[in-house]
Structure 1
């Protein structure tokens, strides 16, 4: 363990940094942050509440935080990193909680490895269908960009504009009970997309925390935590 409380694993030649919080026993939960953030983003009421009954693991995804910035950021890379992380820690099956970019990693993993996911929480997730008009992004980061590898944003935008059709088609392959949480009209994401995704995932429900915007777990931490706890204990 490092001086700042982080731990490290290596998988596929990439060093991944994570934080371990919570109980020593119980169903493990892996938390996946949004674009430009890192595992520290999850600190707050959710950690204190979930940690009473679950071991918690908050990753810095590749290209973020203290994890390696290898320059390769295909969604398959993130999915494979997550598999390697679980294998390295001996976690056969976990609850995945993802926000935005991290939620896409979570549900792509759940499509490919349904037996490794007990439950799935997707906060302000994106529907991976072609964008019209496509998004544009500069190859150079703006002065106020958060401290992560800007190349993640460049490659993510490319994949977001023209996603692999399987990512949408195979939502039906997700077998884990799934909760999709939207932030309502103040979010920049089309909220109807979350409802469409919930219709395609076999055992899913969609709730909205009105007025929360895109950062639901930050702007409405108690409501978000209550929603997740209720879902996990049903």
Structure 2
């Protein structure tokens, strides 16, 4: 363990940094952050609430935080890293909780490896369908010291503008019970997309925390935590 409490694994030649909290037994929970953040983004009441009954892991996705910045950021790279992470820690099955970009990694992984996902929580997720107005691909790096690899944002924008059709078509392959959490008013994402996704995922429902915007777990941490804890407690 490093001085700042992080740990590392290596998978596919990429070093991934993560944090671990909570119980030694129980169904593991893996937290996947949004674009531009890292695992520290999840510190708060959710960790405390889940840690009594679950081992909890917060991963720095490739190109973010302390993990390697290898320059390759296809969605298959991220789902491959997640599989390698679970294998490295010996986690046969896990709950995946993802925010925005991290939620896309989570549900694409659940399509490819349904047997490895116990439950799925998608906070302010993105429907990977072609956009009516393409997203602008960043050309200039932002000022200051970067917190993540700018190339990850460039490649994400390109994949968002030209998504693989299978990402939408295979939502029906997600077998895990799924909670889609929306922020309602204030979110820049079309909230109707969450309902369209829920119609395609066999066991899914939508919960809106109205007025929370895109950062539900930050703007309304207790409501977010209660929604996740109640969902995981269901039989």
Give the alignment's TM-score, normalised by structure 2. Answer: 0.98
Q: Cα distance, 1:143 vs. partner? A: 1.6
Other-structure match for 2:81: 81
Greater Cα shift, 123-132 or 140-149? 140-149
Residues 139 and 151 in structure 1, CA contact (< 8 A), matched pair in contact too:
no
Greater Cα shift, 131-140 or 55-64? 131-140
CA deviation string 1:91-139 (max 9, x = no partner): 0000000000000000000000000000000000000001121111222
Other-structure match for 2:32: 32
Other-structure match for 1:180: 180
The Cα RMSD (Å) is: 0.9
Whole-Å separation in 2 of the counterparts to 1:147 and 1:111: 29
Whole-Å separation in 2 of the counterparts to 1:98 and 1:142: 25
Aligned residues: 234
Tell me if 1:130 matches 2:95.
no
Unaligned runs of 5+ in 2: none
Alignment of 1:25-104 (within 5 A): 25-104=25-104
Whole-Å separation in 2 of the counterparts to 1:145 and 1:49: 33
Q: Cα distance, 1:145 vs. partner? A: 7.7
**Runs (4+) of structure 1 moved beyond 6 Å?**
none
CA deviation string 1:4-27 (max 9, x = no partner): 100000000000000001111111
Whole-Å separation in 2 of the counterparts to 1:144 and 1:198: 39
Task: Describe the SS at the equivalent of 1:199.
Answer: helix
Residues 38 and 64 in structure 1, CA contact (< 8 A), matched pair in contact too:
yes
Tell me if 1:3 matches 2:3.
yes
CA deviation string 1:135-192 (max 9, x = no partner): 1122222226851000000000000001000000000000000000000021000000
Give the alignment's TM-score, normalised by structure 1. Answer: 0.98
Residues 33 and 42 in structure 1, CA contact (< 8 A), matched pair in contact too:
yes
Other-structure match for 2:115: 115
Task: Describe the SS at the equivalent of 1:185.
Answer: coil
Whole-Å separation in 2 of the counterparts to 1:48 and 1:138: 37
Other-structure match for 1:154: 154
Unaligned runs of 5+ in 1: none
Other-structure match for 1:208: 208
